[in-house]
Amino acid sequence: MTSRALAVDIGGTKIATAVVDADGTLRGAARRPVPVVGPSGAGPSGAEQVFGAVRDCVAESLSVAEIDAADVAGVGCGCAGPMRWPAGVVSPLNIPAWREFPLRDRLRDLVGGAPVFVHNDGIALAAGEHWAGVGRGVRNLLAVTVSTGVGGGLVLGGRLLHGGWGNAGHIGHVTVAVDGPPCPCGSRGCLEVMAAGPHTVRRAQAAGWVPPVGQPADGRTLAASAAAGDQTARRELVRSGSAVGAGLASAANLLDLDAAVVAGGFAQSGPIFWDAMRAGFDRHAGLAFARRLRILRSADPDRVALWGAAAFVLAADRYGGWPDAEPVGG
C-alpha cells in the first residue's frame, strides 16, 4: 500500500504542489503563479492555461521527488472557493478563467485515476494544522485565515467537519457587527468585511491613510504604517483584530473549542493586530468554557495547506467521511 499523497494548494495568486509522505515530510515542493489570463482568454483556453500551470507544477513535484504518478495513493487539493463539493467543480473568486471548472476530474486524469479529494482551502488549513501543524493533538480546533478574505475550517471531537455543502467552519460570514458595512455576500458586518486585508485597507484609505511613496496599498504596507506609528493605519488594524477576536469568541461560545489557529498576513504582522484580537476575544468570551480557548499562530501556512490536502488522502479516519454524491441542490 502506498503511503504518500500528491498535495495541491490553489489560491488566488499561486499554485503549490508537493509529494507528502505519511509522516508529513514534503518532497519536491513546487510553486507557480496563477497565470494572469486576459478577458479574451476567459473561455476554455484561459481555463486550460491555468490548468497547464497546475500540470507543470505537479510534474515538477513528481520528478524532483522521483515518484511515478501511479505510485501516489491519491491526490488531495485545497482550492479557493466557491466550489461544488464534493464534486470539486470550482469557481474561485480570484481566478475568473475558472468558472465551473472540473478540477477534481482533471486532477484524476493526471494521476491515472487515483482518488482525488478537492476541498475549500479553509478546510484544508484546518486539516493541516490538526494533522501536523500547531493544532496537532487538539481535540476541538478552529482554523481561521485572515487574508484577501476570511475563511476557516473545523475539527470537532478529533474529526474534520465538512457540513452539508462542504463549508463547515467558514467563519468569514459570521456577523460581528449587526449594523456594520455591507458585505459582498449580501449581509452586513460580516467578519470578512470587518477584518480582511483589502476591506481594512479601503477603510484606512477612506479615513485618509496614504501608503508611503512607491509602496502598494495593501495589508502588508498598512501593517507596516501602523507599526511605524501612523494612527489611522493603527486604528483600522486594531478594528480588524478586534473583529477577529469577536468572531473567535462567538465560535468558542457556539462550539466549546480547545484552540483556534490564526493564519494569514495580518496574523503574522505583529503585536498591534494580535493584541487587538486577544482584547476583542476577552471582551466577548465571558463564560469559563469559552475563555479557555487557546489562540495559536499558524507557524507556516503554506506548508500547512499542503499537509491538509495530503491528510484528506493519508488520514481518512480523521479527515475523510466524504459523501460519494453531491448534496441535493449543491
Binding site for Zn ion (CB under 5 A): 173, 183, 185, 187, 190
Q: Residue 173 CB, nearest distance to Zn ion (Å)?
A: 4
Nearest Cα to Cα of residue 209 among 217, 317, 130: 217
Closer to Zn ion by Cβ: residue 4 or 173: 173
Q: Are 26 and 61 in contact (CB under 8 A)?
A: no
Q: Residue 243 CB, nearest distance to Zn ion (Å)?
A: 12
Q: Residue 187 CB, nearest distance to Zn ion (Å)?
A: 5
Closer to Zn ion by Cβ: residue 181 or 323: 181
Adjacency order of strands within the sheet including 74-79: 26-33, 14-21, 4-10, 74-79, 116-120
Closer to Zn ion by Cβ: residue 192 or 258: 192
How much of the chain is in helix, strand and coil states, percent to nearest 5? 40, 20, 35
Q: Residue 296 CB, nearest distance to Zn ion (Å)?
A: 25
Q: Residue 177 CB, nearest distance to Zn ion (Å)?
A: 11
Q: Residue 211 CB, nearest distance to Zn ion (Å)?
A: 26
Q: Residue 53 CB, nearest distance to Zn ion (Å)?
A: 30
Task: Identify the sign of the CA torsion 178, 162, 5, 142.
Answer: positive
Closer to Zn ion by Cβ: residue 129 or 192: 192
Closer to Zn ion by Cβ: residue 190 or 277: 190
Closer to Zn ion by Cβ: residue 187 or 253: 187
Strand locations in 97-192 (E)? 101-102, 116-120, 141-146, 150-156, 159-160
Taking phi over 0 as left and psi of -120 to 50 as alpha, with beta for the rest, 264 belongs to left
Nearest Cα to Cα of residue 310 among 15, 99, 29, 18: 18
Q: How far apart are the C-alpha atoms of 149 and 135, rounded to whole Å? A: 22
Closer to Zn ion by Cβ: residue 178 or 328: 178
β 26-33/101-102 pair status? unpaired
DSSP string of 58-82, one letter each residue:
HHHHHHHHT--GGGSSEEEEEE-S-
β 259-263/141-146 pair status? parallel
